[in-house]
Structure 1
Amino acid sequence: MPVPAVPPSASVVIIGGGVIGTSIAFHLAEAGAGDVVLLERAELGSGSTCKAAGGVRAQFSDELNIQLGARSLEAFTRFGQRPGQEIDLHRVGYLFLLSTSDDVAAFERDVALQNELGVTSRMIDVEEARRLSPLIDTGGLLGAAFSPDDGHCTPESVVLGYATAARRLGATLLTGTSVLDIETEGDEARTVVTDCGRIRAGTVICAAGAWSAAIGELAGVALPVTPVRRQVLFSEPMPELPEAVPFTIDFASSFYFHREGRGLLLGMSDPEEEPGFRLGYSDDWLPRFGAAMARRAPALADVGLRPGWAGLYEVTPDHNALIGRAASPSNFLYATGFSGHGFLQAPAVGEVLRDLCLGREPFLDVGPLSASRFAGGARTRPEAHIV
């Protein structure tokens, strides 16, 4: 394989070629931000992005995440025109199944806030939840929350769309290029050292997902991101499956499923998974997954299941993203630690990083998401990070 041609300098160097990095590259190139170079050590989207479940939603519990989700959802609906790529978007809705009175009360508050911000979510009763998602068993459920505008799409296609458009607009996206060091001069990160050469940079942006802590360390920036493996599997074809199956989540267990082709994609957050860079699929989670499925969707016990894949969540201490500019080096920006929300927030995050890089006012104040919030012991409200 030929060694990539690394340019000697760039206005902006983006580290990480997943959906966040390619979204930033597209938005910067579209804005005419000069020479934009993206570095990916493997293939585009080969980290966490193409292992994502593909959910897109605006149902969150705080204003920041609601607005990032809603803004991104709008962009996904227009993705065929800008940047120009079919992403197989299915707006079948997100359905959260609730089995405790505390969860019902919390979702009632959340839905009220979502509605104030223009999101068309609503609380529904158990009977309507069963009509929307006929595979579920309603035993123990007290209610549900549903937003008809949410849904799922194909992560690989989103990365392809952003990458193709970014290149068309003049950005350079280099795969097979690993970052070895970031050299600083005074208060600025000035040289990105790769295994294919050195690049002088005007601005450096970390979008390295689960690997961001190591990239931040090279620049002397603390990015508290911990990798945690998440796994999914697939059902065999289900001829009687309804055409529209909402992205259904049992909130208590985190067991979830949505339609994928002629069957289902299924997964859950394994409470016994230890942090680390475990990337291989294994069967050790199946007893816990099977128990959750048996409680909430026992009909699936008669459907054949086949292994899927394993990917990494990039988790922060409060399960909220890290977005902002480092105090030092002052030209080091970051967008990482999305704790399961990176794919669905990528369009809006690309806008925000474009504006931070160009000295513009973003559409949303992301100050509360600065990595500095952990330095003084402050915490934002933890956000449930189910899918």
Structure 2
Amino acid sequence: MSALPARADALVIGGGVIGTSIACQLAESGVDTVLLERGTLGSGASGATAGVLRPYFPGDPHTGRLAVRSMAAYHAFAERTGTPLGLERVGFLVVFNDDRQVADFRRTQAAQQAAGVDVELVTASEAVRLNPLLSERAVLAAAWAPEAYVCDPAAIVRGYAAAAQEAGAVLCTDTPVTGLDPDGQVHTPTGSILADTLVCAAGPWSRTVASMADIDLPVTTYPIELLLTDPSPSVRLRSRAGFPDAAPATTLPMTLHASSGLRIRAWMDRILVGMGRPDPDEPRRAWLQRVSHQLSTVYPALDGIRLHRGWSGAFDGSPNGTAFIGRHPSRPFFYAAGFSGQGLCQAPAAGEIVRDLVAAE
């Protein structure tokens, strides 16, 4: 995208939604910023998501706080830059079928609300009205968070990249990092660049990048696969009249089945389905049968519907699912990694936090 300059005040490694958000925030605050991406922008974890922005994370109000902050920032960014982010309000529904899940929700609801998350417990019948594909027999109760949006992750990455460049940042794609020297010299196949500050936002490759600087960043990488159903007349079923806080009239909410991890959302005339990937010794066909069985149990209207490959990728995870955002205690090495597939929901806040940490140097 751009030629590699000889030096920079700050060098961001990683051109996904986290890296481009950080580069944008740094550049707009007056920091001479260069971003390096090993492939094309958004080609890593950012390109493997379900494209949903949500503030509610069961049992994790800290992530919810960052997501609420990020949601406001996305709206402000779109308004300020005129960048269409493809936001469509759909809501997020978490289906419980166990008394313990309901008890856990009640126990943490106050903390979620204190974090700014708008979420409430709804009955099984209310859950079915919100998502008519559900079987009421599969629902004990559900958590409903109306402020959730489907979006275009690629548009978000492009928007942050364009804003970063407009503020003076240099973005270099197809430029993998091959070495990091203690003095801040960063090596790539196309040359080297000296940086006063390094920021690791390399997603699934963050641990590898950090290890080049002899830093142990305990980020694990795990694969994910999303599936698409055949076109289904059930995707857009009926109006949501009487639910003023629900999504636009005929769009299904993103729905998570808490026990199995099965999640669905409408994808044009199809349904996007996620439930991890096959276990290490599990044949793919057996996994697809397991997903199909769970899908038909929770959503009888989808019984027998065919599943096809959607897209796959790798996510970066942390030991407890909460992202690492911070600074090495003795070196100008910053990091934002381990988002466990939720980086899209936290990217604006992560960029602001890293910007403020760099400014405090």
- State how far apart, in whole Å, the 1-side matches of 2:15 and 2:287 are: 29
Amino acid at match of 2:141: G
State the identity %: 40
Q: SS of the counterpart of 1:272?
A: coil
- State how far apart, in whole Å, the 2-side matches of 1:301 and 1:78 are: 42
What do residues 264-292 of structure 1 show as CA deviations (whole Å, max 9, x unaligned)? Answer: 21111247258xxxxxxx65631221122
Quick check: 1:95–1:246 contact (8 Å CA) kept in 2?
A: yes
Indicate which of 262, 275, 286 corresponds to 1:268.
275
When normalised by structure 1's length, the TM-score is 0.85
> 1:100: how far off?
1.1
- State how far apart, in whole Å, the 1-side matches of 2:280 and 2:257 are: 19
- State how far apart, in whole Å, the 2-side matches of 1:71 and 1:29 are: 20
Indicate which of 260, 264, 271 corresponds to 1:257.
264
| Structure 2 match to 1:51 | 48
Amino acid at match of 1:334: Y
> 1:306: how far off?
2.6
> 1:298: how far off?
2.5
Amino acid at match of 2:56: Q
- Which ranges in structure 1 are unaligned for 5 or more consecutive residues? 275-281, 361-387
> 1:302: how far off?
4.2
What do residues 69-111 of structure 1 show as CA deviations (whole Å, max 9, x unaligned)? Answer: 1011112233422343212112111000001111111112232
| Structure 2 match to 1:363 | none
> 1:13: how far off?
0.4
* Residues 146-155 or 240-249, more deviating: 240-249
- State how far apart, in whole Å, the 2-side matches of 1:212 and 1:308 are: 25
> 1:300: how far off?
1.4
Quick check: 1:225–1:315 contact (8 Å CA) kept in 2?
A: yes
Q: SS of the counterpart of 1:179?
A: coil
Quick check: 1:56–1:153 contact (8 Å CA) kept in 2?
A: yes
- State how far apart, in whole Å, the 2-side matches of 1:4 and 1:117 are: 40
| Structure 1 match to 2:205 | 211
Matches within 5 A, 1:62-73: 62-73=60-71
- State how far apart, in whole Å, the 1-side matches of 2:64 and 2:21 are: 19
What do residues 43-67 of structure 1 show as CA deviations (whole Å, max 9, x unaligned)? Answer: 0000110111112111133442121
Quick check: 2:2–2:171 contact (8 Å CA) kept in 1?
A: no
Matches within 5 A, 1:179-198: 179-185=177-183, 190-198=184-192
- Which ranges in structure 2 are unaligned for 5 or more consecutive residues? 238-249
| Structure 1 match to 2:243 | none
Per the alignment, do residues 305 and 113 of structure 1 end up closer, same or farther by CA in structure 2, a change over 3 Å counting? same
| Structure 2 match to 1:318 | 320
> 1:304: how far off?
4.0
Indicate which of 153, 156, 169 corresponds to 1:171.
169
Regions of 4+ moved over 6 Å:
none
Matches within 5 A, 1:1-387: 5-33=3-31, 35-60=32-57, 61-185=59-183, 190-240=184-234, 241-242=236-237, 243-270=250-277, 272-273=279-280, 285-328=287-330, 330-359=331-360
What is the count of residue pairs matched by the alignment?
345
- State how far apart, in whole Å, the 1-side matches of 2:49 and 2:120 are: 26
> 1:4: how far off?
5.4
- State how far apart, in whole Å, the 2-side matches of 1:110 and 1:84 are: 37
Q: SS of the counterpart of 1:306?
A: strand
Amino acid at match of 1:124: V
Amino acid at match of 1:156: A
Amino acid at match of 1:342: G
What do residues 240-264 of structure 1 show as CA deviations (whole Å, max 9, x unaligned)? Answer: 5232211101010011111112222
* Residues 247-256 or 108-117, more deviating: 108-117
What do residues 7-58 of structure 1 show as CA deviations (whole Å, max 9, x unaligned)? Answer: 100010000000000000111111111x200000100000110111112111
> 1:307: how far off?
1.5
